[in-house]
Chains A and B, each alone.
Chain A
Amino acid sequence: MPTENLLSIKDLVLHFNTQKGPVQAVDGVFFDLGYKEAVVVLGESGCGKSSLAKALLRLLPRNVSKYGGQVYLEGNEIMGMDEEQFRQNIRWVRMSLVPQAAMNSLNPVLKVGDQVAEPMIVHHGVKKEEAYNQAAKMFQHVGVPVDFLDRYAFELSGGMRQRVAIAMALVTAPALVILDEPTSALDVLTQANIFNVLKRLKKELEVSFVLITHDIATSSELADRVAVMYAGQIVEVSDAHRFFSEPLHPYSRMLMASVPRLRANVEPEFITGQPPSLLNPPKGCRFASRCPKRFAKCTEEPPVANVDGIQVKCWLYTS
């Protein structure tokens, strides 16, 4: 296995059982991420982003019907590990998560300092005092005044609570932090602040991020790489610079064109229709019903083409 990548995901699958049949929430996801890099997983609501985060951390609900694929973290395949190994060495130790809406799920009756210190005590078995010192250090990194350690969540603003949630994920010094929509519930100014914090953390702590979001504009600030998700699948993986200059997949292009830009003469566009149901996704390209470039081939599943290092799942790019 090549070890130059911190993370390498191959054909990750997570399906859920429902009364109507299996939901293919994650269906063949792949991408790589280097050390000290951030990859943005871009996709719209319901495309499977949160399920991807759960699949990576093995935080699975009971109704899983299919779960498989390979995930290499720091050179080790982690999908094959047994639960005990995974719990002791991976989850919250080398890889942690800031769940969607984390800032609203802090424990209301515990001081936030205790909550941030807790993972150190549970997963690293350190003494309470040492854990507290480590928590204080993390507060400084994320820009929360240290005297806030003794406060309760309700005494903090939304932006401060989100910083606490990020500190909690960082306190065990993992190599990889997955952030699920970390700023979508926040106002623009607070969003900008959190992104400045994340940019600083990436430099100071040598940590890598998987940033899951539907917000293209904000994501461009932190991204080194971009993975676009549509209906449970990855349709484009690119480096950020090339992606934000000129995305290749028709879905990526239309998504980019729908972002309103300030003082622009062009009006934003929109994509007609809606994504297919993940219960019974179409056989061919999942974007076909909304794609302006669709042609005869598109009724078959497109392969992943490699265009100068950019991976695109679209028939237009197969030669």
Chain B
Amino acid sequence: MTNTNLQEQKDLLVVRNLKKYFPVRSGLLQRTSAWVQAVDNVSFTVKRGETLGMVGESGCGKTTIGRTVLRLVEPTSGEVSFEGRDIIKMGQRDLKPLRRDMQIIFQDPYASLNPRMPIGESVMEGLHIHNIGQPKERWEVAIKMLKKVGLEEYHARRYPHEFSGGQRQRIGIARALALNPKFIVCDEPVSALDVSIQSQVLNILKDLQDEFGLTFLFIAHNLSVVEHISDRVAVMYLGKMVELADRDALYREPLHPYTQALLSAIPIPHPNIKRERTILKGDVPSPLNPPKGCRFHTRCPIAIDQCSQVEPEFREARPGHWVACWKVE
């Protein structure tokens, strides 16, 4: 086997120089007056069987990345290859079988389930679209999947409004699983849930990953949520990836000042820790007009002159530990 083949075995998803600019239209003629640089030159890989956590504040481009790698959104430029095949260049006909392999779980399970459909039918809908099996077999798959996420057979005939938020999220997971995918984008699947049930959903995801050998891109806005589920973690800021490392390296020795701020801002429920959490100056700048040089320099506590002039390269500063910052040796 050649080297590239070996790498393809290990990397399920490879993203290179991904860009997504959304047009901003204004005026009577709705001319494009500006571009929102939602994702700007982002490269990363997701290894087979791993969970890559992706963290950043709202609007930093996480969801856009998640949707672009599934080609639910067309990128402005860049490459996305899944199992060695470039899915951006692919026509819809070639893409269709791949859609089975790549699924998504949304933040708001309620909005993503058809309120007029018994949930068993929602779960088997994908099988129907892809013409897999007979109706009876599809129903059996749906029930099997519902059981995998801790629901019962009788639940299949009930409607979404009869379930709690946590149960609906589990239904969303069952639906994503029904097509027996290889890769699932989990877009903030527990952010809308009460903390007391979040880890139940996370545990289910982990168990299913082991059982079916799934690969996850797990998006969250908070580093504390992804710590237990991720093998590696990427941090996004204003459309750029600023750090990517093995989980332990990122939490124990964060290199980028933005990652450091995010970690220090996580509150701890403790009587004696009434610390001032690190505050960054100001707010996230508009992605319409991102700062020159390093996009973080306007808020960075350790910025030097160079940072406002030249963009730092995203480079491997330690083995397997990538960062974009001039101050990192």
Q: Are A189 and B197 in contact (CB under 8 A)?
A: no
Q: Which residue of B lies closest to A271 (CB)?
A: B196
Q: Are B224 and A190 in contact (CB under 8 A)?
A: no
> Given that A195-B277, A255-B195, A267-B199 are known contacts, is A261 also in contact with B283, CB under 8 Å in the complex?
no
A272 interface hit (Cβ, 8 Å): yes
Q: Give residues 233-285 of A contacting B (CB, 8 Å).
A: 240-245, 254-256, 258-263, 267-272, 274
B221 interface hit (Cβ, 8 Å): yes
Q: Are B195 and A216 in contact (CB under 8 A)?
A: yes
**Contact residues in B for A259 (Cβ distance below 8 Å):** 195, 269
Q: Are B278 and A192 in contact (CB under 8 A)?
A: yes
A187 interface hit (Cβ, 8 Å): yes
What total of chain A residues lie within 8 Å of the partner, measured CB to CB? Answer: 44
Give the distance to chain A from B232, nearest Cβ to Cβ, in Å: 16
**Contact residues in B for A190 (Cβ distance below 8 Å):** 57, 283
Provide the bound-state CA to CA distance between A192 and B281, in Å: 12
Q: Are A270 and B279 in contact (CB under 8 A)?
A: no
Q: Are B269 and A196 in contact (CB under 8 A)?
A: no
Q: Are A258 and B199 in contact (CB under 8 A)?
A: yes
Q: Are B266 and A157 in contact (CB under 8 A)?
A: no
Q: Are B195 and A189 in contact (CB under 8 A)?
A: no
B194 interface hit (Cβ, 8 Å): yes
Q: In the complex, which of the residues A192, A214, A215, A219 contacts B265, with contact meaning CB atoms closer than 8 Å?
A: A192
Q: Are B267 and A260 in contact (CB under 8 A)?
A: no
B263 interface hit (Cβ, 8 Å): yes
**Contact residues in A for B227 (Cβ distance below 8 Å):** 260, 262-263
Provide the bound-state CA to CA distance between A216 and B166, in Å: 19
Known: A188-B57, A260-B225, A263-B251. 7 other contacts (CB 8 A): A188-B221, A189-B280, A190-B57, A243-B271, A255-B196, A261-B224, A271-B197
- B contact set with A: CB distance below 8 Å: 57-58, 164-167, 194-200, 203, 221-225, 227-228, 251-252, 261-263, 265-274, 276-280, 283-284
Report the 7 A-B pairs with minimum CB-CB distance, sorted nearest first. Answer: A192-B277, A270-B200, A217-B267, A187-B57, A244-B271, A44-B194, A157-B283
